[in-house]
């Protein structure tokens, strides 16, 4: 049955694009979770909803407006966090509701929800075009390459921002660069699981991976494996059972997380404090 599914072009494109998105979400998600920015993806996704609504309202390609609005929202979030005493989670909440409110206003002004908007809200990976697939692959390759090259700098920021300043790193510039990369990752991933579920693909595989208590590189590898397994299984199962790929992908990731936590409780995985990640260091 797997061979039958793989014979269809739309399934092939979905798998290729889905694996690319799984890799960037898990890699970027590791930094976000370690920085206590787990809700960042959710906040930027809701800002992207406003960007998509702007595109549909103006009659232009909504993905480009989503990129622009999301990057601006991410930079605004970073500025809000740095220039005020508002905590990271509170800043994310402000950006989240602002983007959502803009989207709701524009949707109501244009006569309600459209098919295009629903595809961005809930994902439409089985309907992507060749052009979408190539764009996702190109952006994913760029994000992964950038994260690999700048891994040490981002890890310095993640674990000790003050020490990074003392070491002479351009902390402000690096923070803005990181936020831009994270925003691009979120918008690129919308076609896979949609705006409403994007944070799940960023956070859940990383929480499961960190449970193993390995070093940074191994944690990223485990997270990527869990993410890819969830995406591939979710796409194939959604094809066979005619259900939404986005929800199926997320539920598989949740099932894997539960399985890992049960295994840890049974003593099959050494117990660690997920919140502290004591064995994940910038030298790992």
Q: Which domains does the chain have, with CATH numbers?
A: 2-198 (1.10.3470.10)
pLDDT grade for 52, boundaries at 50, 70 and 90: confident
Digit-coded pLDDT (tens) for 239-278: 888 888 888 898 999 999 999 999 888 777 665 444 444 3
Digit-coded pLDDT (tens) for 64-123: 888 888 888 888 777 776 666 666 667 777 777 777 787 778 777 766 555 566 667 667
Tokens of 53: 């609504």
Distance CA 60, CA 58 (A): 6
What is the model's pTM? Answer: 0.81
**Angle, nearest 10°, between helix axes 171-193 and 40-58?**
70
Tokens of 9: 């072009």
Q: In the 8-state DSSP scheme, what is residue 282?
A: T
CA distances from 192 to 147, 154, 189 (A): 21, 26, 6
Alpha-helix runs per DSSP H in the chain: 2-6, 9-34, 40-58, 62-83, 88-109, 115-122, 130-149, 151-159, 161-166, 171-193, 198-210, 216-241, 245-265
Distance CA 230, CA 222 (A): 12
pLDDT at 283 over 90: no
Question: Given this model, what pLDDT does residue 36 score?
Answer: 76
Span 192-204, average pLDDT? 81
């Amino acid at each position: 049955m797997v061979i039958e599914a793989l014979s269809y072009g739309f399934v092939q494109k979905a798998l290729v694009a889905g694996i690319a998105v799984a890799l960037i979400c898990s890699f970027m998600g590791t930094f976000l979770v370690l920085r206590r920015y787990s809700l960042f993806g959710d906040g930027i996704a809701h800002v992207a909803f406003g960007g998509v609504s702007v595109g549909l309202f103006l009659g232009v390609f909504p993905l480009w407006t989503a990129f622009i609005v999301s990057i601006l929202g991410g930079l605004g979030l970073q500025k809000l966090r740095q220039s005020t005493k508002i905590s990271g989670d509170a800043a994310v909440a402000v950006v989240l509701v602002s983007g959502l409110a803009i989207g709701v206003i524009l949707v109501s002004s244009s006569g309600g929800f459209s098919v295009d908007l629903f595809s961005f809200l809930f994902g439409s990976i089985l309907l992507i075009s060749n052009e979408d697939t190539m764009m996702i692959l190109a952006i994913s390759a760029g994000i992964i390459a950038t994260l690999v090259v700048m891994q040490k700098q981002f890890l310095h920021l993640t674990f000790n921002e003050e020490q990074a300043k003392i070491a002479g790193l351009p902390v402000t510039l690096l923070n803005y660069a990181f936020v831009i990369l994270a925003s691009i990752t979120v918008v690129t991933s919308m076609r896979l699981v949609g705006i409403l579920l994007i944070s799940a693909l960023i956070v859940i595989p990383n929480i499961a991976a960190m449970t193993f208590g390995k070093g940074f590189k191994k944690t990223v590898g485990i997270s990527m494996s869990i993410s890819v397994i969830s995406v591939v299984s979710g796409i194939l199962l959604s094809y066979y059972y005619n259900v939404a790929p986005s929800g199926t992908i997320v539920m598989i990731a949740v099932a894997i997380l539960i399985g890992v936590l049960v295994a840890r409780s049974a003593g099959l995985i050494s117990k660690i404090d997920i919140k502290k990640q004591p064995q994940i260091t910038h030298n790992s």
